Structure 1
Amino acid sequence: MKRWMSTVATVGLVASGLALASPASAGGGRPGDAELERWAHDTWRSLVAMTDQETGLPADNVTGDLQTSSAYTSPTNIGGYLWSTVTARDLGIIGADEARDRMSTTLDTLNDLERNDASGMYYNWYSPTTGEKLTTWPDSGDPVHPFLSTVDNGWLAAALRIVREAEPALAEQADALYDSMDFASFFDPAGAAGLPAGTNRGGFWEQAPPDCSVAAPMYNGSGATAYYTCHHYDTTVSESRIATYLGIANGQIPPTALSGTHRTMPPGCDWAWQEQLPSGEYRTYDGFQVWEGAYSYDGMSFVPSWGGSMFESLMPDLLVPETKWGPKSWRLNHPITVAVQKRHGLEEAGYGYWGFSPASNPFGGYAEYGVDIAGMRSDGYTSDAEKTDVDIDRPGCAEGTNPDPVFGDGVVTPHAAFLALPYDRKGALSNLEGIENDLGAYGPGGFYDAVAVRSGTIAERYLSLDQSMIMAAIGNELTKDKLKDYFVDREMEQRLRPAMRQQEFSSSWGAGGDNKG
């Protein structure tokens, strides 16, 4: 039996209120810190429940009673578990020996997992109990076409950076795995149509899939043939930017990749399919002209994500010091994004709660939630179970079909509110307290994945990805961004920070004021 089985006893003490105070609580703290610690203890419990003891791989999800886990996992899930383990250690939830043993088990398994030889990248789906690459779905038996995902490998690589700094005894092993991953394999120097610089594709297959793909020599010059996705990651406000950051930090792709994505789609009626017609201006970075467009909401201007969800906007900010390195871009855009989500939930839709992001559907399955008007996608992520579409006028181009909708059963996702902690701590804590105490969307593993606020229907399930975002957000809040300290090194700062510093978004508080209170 592995030494880290002691977590079961630790969690039991926490649940009974008998655990010793963690370093974060020693000597007091800000109002709300004790609550954040309690939530972190319970959230960690769900991650323990879904992680296989022999492989150290977390399942993708576990039922609300923490009894039944899924039979598949992904690189993102594995990465999230690793940084959650570091966070659990730093918060005093588990001891240093247990944390080291847990991470060591996972790294040993990662070393043995089947990978793409030409890039060092991991496939998208594995068995959490055996580590085998999946070629059929465990539930249905349908075929899986093994895929190498840009963004999923980005989150795993990000976690390896954290482990190598947070646990010196594992630094060599984590570093070897990290150095073997070549992000140039995803980077298309020609970029997407209509954009001035190169950017990443969504990933590739080794064999032609049944759907759309583009056969090409692998971009890293390995000589292998890859079947790339037909789409690029061509929007700036996207969780996929983590892979761009890593490629730049490693010297595998050029810093000009930051100019190879859309802030918004360009202005004009040729692009009137997007959710809003943007305002903005062209700016030039390193010889590349970029349309710095912005959308508007309640007097505020901001750079939107594709679907209008919180995790697209703020997940990379858990690890990358975006507001520090992007004083004219992310420092403005992140708090405005939070304010938009909050005002939509509390004022426009009148749900009484806020925080919208892809998550479990309270009525079954999985669904994409967001603030429709705040995303570029015309049939974007909606904030309610009825999928109420917002369609406003595009003056001079198109007349809106539903400019003033009546919203239905709003679905809030707790991890989205946790992502808002650095920008509206008071509002996020109040929101989460209501979700727990008034809506009852809380169980033995912390906040359930989603809740429909008007019907009270709860998705009694925990997703590894969403729980790991919660752990990171709480950890950053209680340890003054320790995960970011682990993630960043001098080489990353020298290569990435100057490229980020020069970017200037068209974001502005305008008449919308700020998000305080």
Structure 2
Amino acid sequence: MRAAPRAVDRRRPDSPEPPARPRRRRALAAGLAALLAGAGAVLAPTAASAAPQQPTDLARGGGHGGGHGGGRDVRQLRTWLADTYDSLDAMTDPDTGLVADNIGGDLDPATASAYTSPTNIGGYLWSTVVARDLGLMSRHEARARMTTTLETLEGLDRHDESGMFYNWYDPATGDRVDTWPDSGDPVEHFLSSVDNGWLAAALRVVASAEPRLADEATALYDSMHFGVYYNPEGRPDLGVGLIRGGFWDEEPSGCSVPGNYTGGATVYYTCHHYDTTVSETRIALYLGITDGEIPAEAYWGTYRTFPSTCDWSWQEQRPSGVTRSYDGVPVYEGVYHYDELALVPGWGGSMFEALMPDMLVPESEWAPRSWGVNHPLVVEAQKRHGLDEAGYGYWGFSPASNPHGGYAEYGVDVLGMRSDGYLSDGTTDVDLGFAGCREATNPDPEFGDGVVTPHAAFLGLEYDTRGVIDNLKNIARDLDGYGAGGFYDSVAVRSGVVAERYLSLDQSMIVAAIGNHLRDGLVRDYVVGPDMEQNLRPVLAQEVFSSAATPVAPVLTEPAPGSTVDAVTRLAGTGEPGAHLTVTGADGVVWCTADVDADGAWACDVATPPGAGVHALTLSTTNDAGVTVPGGAVTVTVRDAGGPGDPGGSAPGDVDPGVVQPGADDPAAGAAAPAGDERRRAGRPAVRWR
């Protein structure tokens, strides 16, 4: 049996509510918010600058626990929380404690779906804990609700060997759903790795939050073995594995791969693996690593972006980046570009791909040089898309109910690796091309009837508190996007069509986001235990994404600025890791070129050392994505080899090609030189770096 994932600071069941935890501002996220506001610093190109920056005074967001706003905001969030939980309450069967997948906007129980999933059940459990801790119900009532749900879970039919739950159950009876209620089509019973991940994480919440239910929740958690999903040969090119999307215990009608990674009876795996890093599916990987059933090295097997070669030009845009090694595994740290932002994309470009795992695992805190940089950039990019690029006036895009019927995948197309992306208006496919491999076909389109999904905006609450709250108020006021159960699932902004429906998954994301914000990581604190601290945290802490809020300009550091040198045979400096650097003289002649290494350093030998005089230099880098970043103008002075008449010396009238001669319009002309300077003794003005 694994150690119970219980919080070390567990309280007595009926003890008074503790005071709010101290705010734990995340230094890197706070520094990034300052960058987005115009500070303009460079993020993590070198080992020194990769260290977390000092926190700034950002009362509105900036990472986990980064500010709760004023009292009016707190009251607003509590109102939204209460109404949102009402929708979950309305779609939960009181006899089984199982929440339906969705319900109509009027919260009539007759409109609730006749099916639910492990994710939905898990979301209801953590939402009940948040509702209790924020005063919406008594501890006794919350415990009674969770008891009912756990007792039903203990009796559900599931895969005996792995302990995994099937994907669809009847919330009224707990029976597996054999035929779809609407169509009557048969259901092929699937066991999803990600859906079981969300339920397992919720069981950790219950075990930590409610001591009287800790044994029951821990027993269920311990019975779930995520190693059943792990294919150790998923990335043979790297020698590490990946997790499968899930399996069936009977052969399905479509594609499947027979086997069993734990050596038991044959199951039938999905033909695909979960192979992208920015994905909600990483929750299953995290739990497998935490439990010791999936090796930590599997974290390095997923793609940050796909490779930046023409063989991979089907992906949305050409990434730039650099390869780093972690635990002996080479990882291409690629990023996509959006305006001046560089960030690691998801598969489709939705908010919940990037931020849903962050609700339960303190990614920004534990990984300040990767997730701590990327998460606020995702929020910023989604915001810019809605307000600026598409001009919707509102933002927040994730898969949700389609206002015109059914379900659809929404996102910011250019932030997803999938070539046709998740489209924010459902129709407009942006194509930026793939630098050097294929031309753009639709780089600057006009967007149509964009669909905003409020739960996606809520996920950004800790990173842009003011922006999120204002955006949601506008959706409620301008678009009639709010009902008896909180925000409706989605709204089409130009037609005004509202999906007057509530999805339990999306509602539980809202509850977790509000709980984390108002109580400084409330849900995360319940999920994290010593096992996760020991097995997962060190893995996340290693990584350095290539994400940045501002372009990384090339800088010359050798020769030192302000110095005058005898000769220039070698130049060195810093720049964007992985980019190609060029140094050019005033006459347009290239002095030297270099590739910037993984630590952001470059050096190159000057093919033809310049003669005496003042030389103006231009630096620039161009990355794989074709983005060119210029550096600041610099000059370097080469002193004479000797005075007039000295062998090898220059006469006063001699001029070398490409040399900038000091004169009346040169601010360096006439500058005082240090005592003993040979140029002063030769009658020439000293010229410094500028």
- TM-score w.r.t. length of structure 1: 0.92
Aligned residue in 2 for 1:392:
432
1-structure distance, mates of 2:237, 2:320: 18
Structure 1 residue 283 and structure 2 residue 346: aligned?
A: no
- Letter of the 1:479 partner, please give it: R
CA contact (8 A) 2:412 2:422 kept: yes
Name which of 329, 332, 350 aligns with 2:373: 332
Structure 1 residue 478 and structure 2 residue 518: aligned?
A: yes
Q: CA deviation at 1:135?
A: 1.5
> How is 1:25-36 mapped onto 2 (pairs within 5 angstroms)?
30-36=71-77
- Letter of the 1:131 partner, please give it: G
2-structure distance, mates of 1:469, 1:56: 19
> How is 1:264-413 mapped onto 2 (pairs within 5 angstroms)?
264-385=305-426, 387-413=427-453
Aligned residue in 2 for 1:143:
186
Structure 1 residue 431 and structure 2 residue 471: aligned?
A: yes
SS in 1 for 2:334: strand
Structure 1 residue 190 and structure 2 residue 251: aligned?
A: no
CA contact (8 A) 1:195 1:262 kept: no
SS in 2 for 1:191: strand
2-structure distance, mates of 1:257, 1:276: 26
Structure 1 residue 491 and structure 2 residue 534: aligned?
A: no
1-structure distance, mates of 2:235, 2:346: 17
- Letter of the 1:166 partner, please give it: A
Cα 1:484/1:208, change in 2 over 3 Å: same
Render the CA deviation track for 1:185-238: whole Å, top value 9, x for unaligned. 00111114655421100000011111111011x2123x2111000000000000
2-structure distance, mates of 1:380, 1:165: 38
2-structure distance, mates of 1:246, 1:342: 31
- Letter of the 1:220 partner, please give it: T
Determine which structure has the larger strand proportion and give its number.
Answer: 2
Render the CA deviation track for 1:130-170: whole Å, top value 9, x for unaligned. 00011211111101000010000000000000000000000
SS in 2 for 1:506: coil
SS in 2 for 1:295: strand
Name which of 185, 191, 203 aligns with 2:246: 203
- TM-score w.r.t. length of structure 2: 0.69
Determine which structure has the larger helix proportion and give its number.
Answer: 1
Cα 1:55/1:249, change in 2 over 3 Å: same
CA contact (8 A) 1:351 1:453 kept: yes
CA contact (8 A) 1:411 1:451 kept: yes
Render the CA deviation track for 1:259-302: whole Å, top value 9, x for unaligned. 01000001100000000110001111111111110000011110
Q: CA deviation at 1:240?
A: 0.3
- Letter of the 2:411 partner, please give it: G
Aligned residue in 1 for 2:117:
74
SS in 2 for 1:471: helix
Name which of 37, 41, 49 aligns with 2:90: 49
1-structure distance, mates of 2:73, 2:238: 45
- Letter of the 1:90 partner, please give it: D
Aligned residue in 2 for 1:18:
none
> How is 1:105-120 mapped onto 2 (pairs within 5 angstroms)?
105-120=148-163
Structure 1 residue 255 and structure 2 residue 255: aligned?
A: no
Aligned residue in 1 for 2:541:
501
SS in 2 for 1:357: coil
Q: Which runs of 5+ in 1 are unaligned?
A: 1-20, 513-517
Q: Which runs of 5+ in 2 are unaligned?
A: 1-16, 21-68, 553-690
SS in 2 for 1:306: coil
Bigger Rg over Cα: 2
- Letter of the 2:261 partner, please give it: Y
- Letter of the 1:177 partner, please give it: L
1-structure distance, mates of 2:308, 2:146: 48
1-structure distance, mates of 2:171, 2:235: 35
Cα 1:196/1:457, change in 2 over 3 Å: farther
Aligned residue in 2 for 1:446:
486
Cα 1:353/1:194, change in 2 over 3 Å: farther
Aligned residue in 1 for 2:13:
none
User: 1 or 2 for the larger relative contact order (CA 8 Å, sep ≥6)?
Assistant: 1
CA contact (8 A) 1:295 1:303 kept: yes
Structure 1 residue 229 and structure 2 residue 270: aligned?
A: yes
Render the CA deviation track for 1:103-153: whole Å, top value 9, x for unaligned. 000000000000001100000000000000112111111010000100000
CA contact (8 A) 1:277 1:394 kept: yes
Q: CA deviation at 1:29?
A: 5.5
CA contact (8 A) 1:332 1:507 kept: yes
Q: CA deviation at 1:403?
A: 1.0
Aligned residue in 2 for 1:415:
455
CA contact (8 A) 2:238 2:329 kept: no
CA contact (8 A) 1:22 1:91 kept: no
2-structure distance, mates of 1:287, 1:93: 49
Aligned residue in 1 for 2:565:
none
1-structure distance, mates of 2:237, 2:415: 22
Between stretches 301-310 and 475-484, larger displacement belongs to 475-484
Name which of 277, 284, 302 aligns with 1:243: 284
CA contact (8 A) 2:316 2:433 kept: no
Name which of 164, 175, 197 aligns with 1:121: 164
> How is 1:92-103 mapped onto 2 (pairs within 5 angstroms)?
92-103=135-146
2-structure distance, mates of 1:147, 1:108: 22
1-structure distance, mates of 2:81, 2:209: 19
CA contact (8 A) 1:282 1:292 kept: yes
CA contact (8 A) 2:87 2:107 kept: yes
SS in 2 for 1:252: coil
2-structure distance, mates of 1:194, 1:208: 29
Aligned residue in 2 for 1:219:
261
